[in-house]
Amino acid sequence: MSDPTHAPAPGDAAGKPFIRVAAGVILKPDGSVLLGRRPADKPWPGWWELPGGKLEPGETVLEALARELKEELDIEVTDASPWVTYTHEYPKNIVQLAFCQVRGWVGEPRCMEDQQLAWVDPSRTPLPVGPLLPATEPPLRWLRLPDRYLITAIGGADGLAAYLARLEKALSAGVRLVQFREPAWAGNGAEDAHAAFRRVLRQCRRHGARCLVNSCHPESWWAEADGVHLRAADARLRAAGVPASGADATRPLQSVAPGLLGVSAHTAADLDAARALGADFAVLGHVLDTPSHPGQAGMGWARFAELARDAGLPVFAIGGQSEATLADARRHGAHGIAGIRRI
């Protein structure tokens, strides 16, 4: 779970200058990301950051990004998409950073401003460079989140063997984040579902994948998992400090469920709750029509993009998602895709 104090765009309530910045998360196909070391003549000299800089008046984020990466690295951006916009309060100013993923460019990045450059594998901890600017730590952490999130729909004991075979295929194909979610388990009740959860967990761990447990399951299971995924209503109650039935909403989540914290969201208020709780990510939808919500139209990509832009944390798109929609999801600001059937 991350530090919950970073709300987006608090304005300059503290009387500090408010600065808007576009920062490039320049990614090679092997997952490595480009960092730059700030030159000696700038504030925070020697600290590492993502390439980018301040928006000029009238510029969009993507325009500022393209200009800055040309000036700083001498590359032409050909494929960039918004990712997470995050606000950090420094002692002297408030910086709103629009982190954008850059997956296509022309030219070889080179130092144009006396900075030092390094390609690093974000999964390595500690990173093999010096200290990162405080506001640059969250995006490096978010890069460790897989971009596909599989949610179980086993149904009951009768379906378990077939499901485990499907899960094995998904894990072998590279899925590294799974959520056990069985709100209507059919069979011999909770004990049976608990045994199924443990089997799913073991299978995930054999592949180095993390398995979160949905908050529809008893709190007593949560510490066994690699994190918890809160339903939207549970997250709103917890964010408001209201005790939920069957769970002690006032107990700090970290003490009940160490590890990752995911939150389901359908509205801006749900995303606010996710951020207030310091969630690592949210799952927003449903975006496209899906058999899980028959007769209910999806929110569509335009609304998804609008909500994701202000979320302040990585957002997975859910509803009608599959490998075929991953590029669309990224273009609209998603970190990745989540789903039951086609992940």
Ligand X SMILES: Nc1nc2c([nH]c(=O)n2[C@@H]2O[C@H](COP(=O)(O)OP(=O)(O)OP(=O)(O)O)[C@@H](O)[C@H]2O)c(=O)[nH]1
Q: Which residues of the chain form contacts with ligand X (CB under 6 A)?
A: 19, 21, 23, 42-44, 49-50, 52-54, 88, 95, 97, 133, 135-136
- For strand 76-89 and strand 210-214, is the pairing parallel, antiparallel, or unpaired? unpaired
Distance in Å, CB of 75 to ligand X, minimum = 15
Distance in Å, CB of 227 to ligand X, minimum = 26
Q: Which is nearer to ligand X, 285 or 314 (CB)?
A: 314
Q: Which is nearer to ligand X, 137 or 306 (CB)?
A: 137
Q: Which is nearer to ligand X, 68 or 280 (CB)?
A: 68
Q: Which is nearer to ligand X, 113 or 219 (CB)?
A: 113
Helix (H) or strand (E) holding 202: helix 189-206
Nearest Cα to 172, choosing from 202, 200, 208, 124? 208
Distance in Å, CB of 52 to ligand X, minimum = 4
Rounded Cα distance, 342 and 161, in Å: 19
Q: Which is nearer to ligand X, 21 or 311 (CB)?
A: 21
Distance in Å, CB of 123 to ligand X, minimum = 18
Distance in Å, CB of 84 to ligand X, minimum = 12
Distance in Å, CB of 34 to ligand X, minimum = 11
Eight-class DSSP state of 225:
S
Distance in Å, CB of 133 to ligand X, minimum = 4
Range 288-323 burial, b when 16+ CB lie within 10 A, else e: bebebeeeeebbebeebbebbbebbbbbbbbbbbee
Q: Which is nearer to ligand X, 138 or 320 (CB)?
A: 138
**207 neighbors 174 (Cβ within 8 angstroms):** no
Long-range contact set of residues 91-96: C-beta below 8 Å, sequence gap at least 24: 92/16, 92/17, 93/16, 93/17, 93/18, 93/19, 94/10, 94/11, 94/12, 94/14, 94/16, 94/17, 94/18, 94/19, 95/19, 95/21, 95/135, 96/8, 96/9, 96/18, 96/19, 96/20, 96/21
Q: Which is nearer to ligand X, 21 or 193 (CB)?
A: 21
Q: Which is nearer to ligand X, 54 or 202 (CB)?
A: 54
Distance in Å, CB of 86 to ligand X, minimum = 9
- Which residues are CB-neighbours of 43 under 8 A, at least 6 positions away? none
Nearest Cα to 79, choosing from 107, 60, 100? 100
**6 neighbors 95 (Cβ within 8 angstroms):** no
Q: Which residue is nearest to ligand X (CB)?
A: 53
Rounded Cα distance, 325 and 283, in Å: 15
